[in-house]
Chain A
Amino acid sequence: NAGVTQTPKFQVLKTGQSMTLQCAQDMNHEYMSWYRQDPGMGLRLIHYSVGAGITDQGEVPNGYNVSRSTTEDFPLRLLSAAPSQTSVYFCASSYSRGHEQFFGPGTRLTVL
């Protein structure tokens, strides 16, 4: 099992550019989520999904879109990047809601 994989590992964007952060898991987990990690603020939930075709907003959803067309994949889209979105992004998955989450290695994003 590869577990939770994320690509790319690093990315630099200019303000206004768009991009998609990829996340995939091979554990057949229903629940997937995206977090951002900023110094002194822990991890904050951006969006989550409880199954294919079902997504919902977390604590900090503005500026981000998600979709879940398959159980395995849960991409995060930045429509128009802003410097405030400079952060480390983590994708996680779990067997079901409330259960332990397995994390990917993260994507470090810088928006200039």
Chain B
Amino acid sequence: AQSVTQPDIHITVSEGASLELRCNYSYGATPYLFWYVQSPGQGLQLLLKYFSGDTLVQGIKGFEAEFKRSQSSFNLRKPSVHWSDAAEYFCAVAARGGNQFYFGTGTSLTVIP
């Protein structure tokens, strides 16, 4: 069965520090990969996605993610975190040609001044 693991439930970083959020997936073939962000009381907004090609993908708000097939990972990074980045981050996968999205349990990010 497909699964998505976000091993870090909560991360705290200082403003201006770099950030890496981890995501591992379990799937028979390379799926489509996504990162979403959810601000408190809001819906989910797409940060970036990977379908094929270059394994380093750029997204909105200065985020990037790298797909590593050998590690079944799709980690999200940002070189310098801003206070407005405090939110919940979700990794998701979808089977190529499949009907279902699978979400990780999320990582809550706190940014301290």
Contacts and interface: CB of A to CB of B under 8 A. Distances in A.
Given A42-B90, A97-B98, A90 B105 contact: no
A74 interface: no
A105 B90 contact: no
A35 B43 CA distance: 11
Contact of B32 (A44, A56, A98): A98
Interface string B42-65: 111110010000000000000000
A2 to B, nearest CB: 13
Contacts, number: 58
B99 A105 contact: no
Contact of A90 (B44, B97, B104): B44
B68 to A, nearest CB: 21
Interface of A: 4, 31, 33, 35, 40-45, 48, 50, 56, 58-59, 90, 92, 97-106
